[in-house]
Structure 1
Amino acid sequence: MHITSLVVHAMPSHCTAVDALINALPGAQIHGADANGKRVVTLEAPTSAEILDQVATIRQAPGVLSVAMVYQHAESLESLNTELPHVHHTT
């Protein structure tokens, strides 16, 4: 599983359409937005190629000024399903 966070900057007049495009992408979620057109977005996909395709789709959308990848994490699905031991901290 690949997880990427982005900052997407769009022209304010295009934000409704850009938000709809992002929300239509599988595994995409908008976590925050401002009136100036900046959005904080996460993408989740099985492969990095799918992430890059989604980033390209967003970047090419009308009204998008920039897309900046902030963070990417990749982990096997097996490790995501592994239960972690409970750790008790004392002070």
Structure 2
Amino acid sequence: MPGSHVLEAAAMIPVQSLDDNLHVASIVVHAQPAMLDSVSAWLQQQSGTEVYGRDDQGKLVVVIESYNSQAVLNVIDNVQLQPGVLNAALVYHELVPPEEDTP
């Protein structure tokens, strides 16, 4: 599609955290049911990422924790490129200040 490379480049623009906050994000991933196990396994291998729920229809609830906002965006962008993934959407994002972050 003409011009799609511009959209792809814009989607990968680096964004840096300007503070030491912990980013906690939740995404919903919709995948083809036959690919659910492989998508879930890929997500579990990503740093700071945990699959909290799933259904046999192809939906995964995923939580991402990182001190770098770009890492959160990278997981969202990259999961959408995985075979069998139909969509990934951010549904929650919170910044936890360092004084509230307990290891």
Q: Normalising by the residue count of structure 2, what TM-score does the alignment of the two structures yield?
A: 0.74
- Number of the residue aligned with 1:4: 25
Q: In structure 1, what is the Cα distance between the partners aligned to 2:44 and 2:98?
A: 23
Instruction: Name 2:72's counterpart in structure 1.
Output: 51
If you compute each CA radius of gyration, which structure gives the higher value, 1 or 2? 1
Number of paired residues?
81
- Identity fraction in percent: 33
For structure 1, the residue ranges without an aligned partner over 5 or more in a row are 82-91
Q: CA RMSD in A?
A: 1.1
Q: Deviations over 1:19-73 (max 9, x none)?
A: 1100001111111100110011100011111100111111111100010100000
Write the letter of the residue equivalent to 2:51: I
Q: Give the aligned partner of residue 60 of structure 1.
A: 81
Runs of 5+ unmatched residues, structure 2: 1-21
Contact 2:26-2:91 at 8 Å conserved across structures: yes
2:91 pairs, out of 66, 70, 73, with 70
